Structure 1
Amino acid sequence: MSAIKTAAVIGGGIAGPVTALALRRAGIEATVYEAYENTADGLGGMLMVAPNGLSALEVVGVDHGLAGQPIHRMVMTDGRGRRMGEFAGLTGLPPSQVMWRTDLYGAVRERAAAAGVQTVYGKRLAGAEETPAGVTAEFTDGTRVTAEVLVGADGIRSTVRQLIDPAAPGPRYTGLLGFGAHSKTEVPQARPDTMYFAFGQHAFLGYWPAPGGGTAWFGNLPYEKPLSAEQASSTPSAAWMRILRERFAGDVPGRDLLRGTGDDELLTFGGLEILPSVPTWHRGRMVLVGDAAHAPSSSSGQGASLAVESAVQLARCLRDIPDVGSAFATYEQLRRGRVEKVAAQAAKTNSQKSMGPVATRITALLVPLATRTFLKPEKMFGWTHRYRIDWDAPVVPA
């Protein structure tokens, strides 16, 4: 049983409640403090939870009722709709699930509430001070809360990260804007258990047949100027749709999917961002988890899964290692290499999404050969998707 008994978790998105659930299972009373006044129900786009993420969610009891669509394989095509390669799911693993972020958020939040985790809204962190009793969080409304440890699960623009290290890097723009929508168009012969990645002449499009008909799609548009979600949304959807239809005019099936999408259906996510390597994950009694410590771009398909993994590993370390500093160091040792390797692969994927017509044609020639020879699913995804955390195994200090 943990020597630590209380924790303040900053951030009420997905990573925060999951961390609180894991800490509670480790015998630590954790309270979540969320900056906004209300829940984030209905916000966000689509995300994928890979088999490793599903396994980590099972550890904290979020393994039933997820409203996801199973994805058993991924297919790569060129801008003419010709298949370049296919990656099947890994033997012995459940399929990844694609779902709305709000559905995963709701499932996590409901599980946390059922387990007795308290979430306090309207608490925006302003600062933190180490005390003999632990660490005191100071909020912008003037209130203060003291716990034995403070966990920063406050996202890619983490306040806790800046408190730990004022020189810590912030998020970096990938050069791509994100969009998504539902199209009335159905792609001929597209399978409902398959996600398709189409590398067009000027932009990238991912899509899959949606339950109930039509096609769900997301697109990444190369764009020089970084835009926040709010800035991108200030441009009318009809204007973005004109740009997207122009960029995908020569692509199959992008051209048809955009034609079948109403302007008011478009979801605008703003610039896709990635977090450079964060030198310092912890200081004193403060530590980072999830996107606050490691945020690969959405191209990785691992953002949510890695956040849940880190929450579980942090809880195990605090459960088994009495010294807080040693527990945090061990947690970082368990996680850093893995998350940075995922981030590096996501960066390569981002570059492929904006490589231009000539490079796209060259890739279309090379990928079929690669997938028939050395580029196999086990080699590509085995090390990420087969990762499992044994909750009951004791943690050895770093």
Structure 2
Amino acid sequence: MAHVLIIGGGIAGPVTAMALRRAGIDATVYEAFPAGADDVGSFLTLFANGLAALRAIDADGPVREASCVAETVEFISDTGRLLGRRPLSGSWDDGLGPRTLRRSELCRTLRAEAARRGVRVEHAKRLVDLTVRPRGTVVARFADGTRAEGTAVVGADGLRSRTRTLLDPGAPPPRHTGQLTVCGRTRDAHAPVPDRTYRMYYGQRAFFGCTRAPDGTTYWFANMPGPELPRAALAAATPDQWRHRVTEAFAGDRTPAAAIAAATGDDIVGINAYDIPTTPVWHNAHTVLVGDAAHATAPNAAQGASMAIEDGVVLARCLRDLPGNEQAFEAYEGLRRERVERVVALSAAMAGRAPGTAEERRTRDAEVERRMAEDPRPRMNWLTGYRIDWAAPVH
């Protein structure tokens, strides 16, 4: 009987396990952290395509309950001028308006739903090595000395994927995008955002976005140009240091961005922004990559989680319908590579848009106004309009 070993219990891992179970394939999730990663202050957005992928396996309900919805986006210049307002992608067709929630809450929700469906999740299992036995089964060896055996391995272990390195020792490392991303949340914001709305501020020096949950919590993020911080410096940075860095970046703007950051307590975290433009090797005869392990995306397009969810559902369909790992993995790569690399490129281009001079900012504002006046559906449907037909066979 087929049994898949899934390395990583973040977002892609539990989704892949649930999709495989729905396809009649048993799977176990092995998570490196003792109780899962806890990104204090960090949050994410699931757009319509990510929610639709969860809906394909009837797993969107718990995520909806744990998140808040936004239906409208507003873009505002550093002078405080409204550049435009329009429905957010996905809210205009099948009611799948983008959902906002903490990353740690999404991971907990997906793991809990997977466990409810009978998926086993084992913690403190950091992958060390993979070996293939003569009869074709693959053995995963973990840092605690334990082992697990299965018919296939799915690497869902994120940006610093050990599975990716074992699959291809020459795989390109993550690339720093020249950007730092800071996320926070506060109930003390003095400039509340309208209900079900994302406000995006084009600052003179950085970009700021925020939304408000029904309980009054304002979630915000700031994308700021900056060099890659060493891991030690990143780990040592305090909430107060991140708060000061963000308020300083937006202090010269006539927007509430600096005040929102200043009103934030310890629920604030900063990260280096990375991506992986392309990963040459996605699979071999027994191992395959999903999510950030295959195609890490800069946060600007807010599609990393949705891409990981799509991967898990598509992979499960391929393993359900095609004979043997190799054919299934090849079909999965064929269905996914072009799309995800296009998303990575889009997000990288957004990360590269530096604020520039006053004249360049005026030109940018004019372009934003022009785009906001257009119907976004023809331009964005390829991204957020993507849907997976679970019942359709994979050939």
TM-score by length of 1: 0.92
After the TM superposition, which residues 96-245 of structure 1 pair with which residues of structure 2 at under 5 Å, given as runs?
96-131=98-133, 132-183=135-186, 184-187=188-191, 190-213=193-216, 215-228=218-231, 231-245=233-247
| Unmatched segments (≥5 aa) in structure 1 | none
Check the 8 A contact 1:175/1:226 in 2, yes or no: no
Instruction: Report the Cα offset of residue 214 of structure 1.
Output: 5.6
Shift of the 111–250 alpha-carbon distance from structure 1 to 2, 3 Å rule, reads: same
Shift of the 110–149 alpha-carbon distance from structure 1 to 2, 3 Å rule, reads: same
Instruction: Report the Cα offset of residue 6 of structure 1.
Output: 0.9
Check the 8 A contact 1:85/1:368 in 2, yes or no: yes
Instruction: Report the Cα offset of residue 43 of structure 1.
Output: 4.7
Q: Which of 25, 36, 40 is residue 39 of structure 1 equivalent to?
A: 36
- SS of the residue corresponding to residue 65 of structure 1 reads helix
Matched with 1:81 is 80
| Unmatched segments (≥5 aa) in structure 2 | none
For 1:110 and 1:275, locate their aligned partners in 2 and report how far apart those are by CA, in whole Å: 29
Instruction: Report the Cα offset of residue 87 of structure 1.
Output: 3.3
After the TM superposition, which residues 262-273 of structure 1 pair with which residues of structure 2 at under 5 Å, given as runs?
262=265, 264-265=266-267, 267-273=268-274
Matched with 1:290 is 291
Q: Which amino acid aligns with 1:389?
A: I
CA distances 1:324-359 after superposition (whole Å, capped 9, x unpaired): 211100000000111111111101111125546543
Matched with 1:339 is 340
Q: Which of 95, 98, 114 is residue 97 of structure 2 equivalent to?
A: 95
For the pair 1:5 / 2:2, whether they are aligned, the reply is yes
- SS of the residue corresponding to residue 64 of structure 1 reads helix
Matched with 2:331 is 330
Q: Number of matched residues? A: 387
After the TM superposition, which residues 308-323 of structure 1 pair with which residues of structure 2 at under 5 Å, given as runs?
308-323=309-324
For 2:283 and 2:391, locate their aligned partners in 1 and report how far apart those are by CA, in whole Å: 25
Check the 8 A contact 2:200/2:207 in 1, yes or no: yes
* Higher mean C-alpha displacement, 144-153 vs 34-43: 34-43
For 1:234 and 1:38, locate their aligned partners in 2 and report how far apart those are by CA, in whole Å: 22
CA RMSD of aligned residues (A): 1.9
Matched with 1:388 is 387
Instruction: Report the Cα offset of residue 233 of structure 1.
Output: 4.2
Check the 8 A contact 1:202/1:356 in 2, yes or no: no
For the pair 1:27 / 2:19, whether they are aligned, the reply is no
For 2:262 and 2:165, locate their aligned partners in 1 and report how far apart those are by CA, in whole Å: 45
CA distances 1:345-378 after superposition (whole Å, capped 9, x unpaired): 10111112554654323201222123324xx320
Q: Which amino acid aligns with 1:181?
A: G
Instruction: Report the Cα offset of residue 143 of structure 1.
Output: 2.2
TM-score by length of 2: 0.92
Q: Which amino acid aligns with 2:150?
A: A
Q: Which amino acid aligns with 2:370?
A: L
CA distances 1:27-80 after superposition (whole Å, capped 9, x unpaired): 111011111222335656110111111111123332223221111121211111
CA distances 1:289-336 after superposition (whole Å, capped 9, x unpaired): 111111111111111111111101101101110122111000000001
Check the 8 A contact 2:57/2:390 in 1, yes or no: no
For 2:317 and 2:354, locate their aligned partners in 1 and report how far apart those are by CA, in whole Å: 38
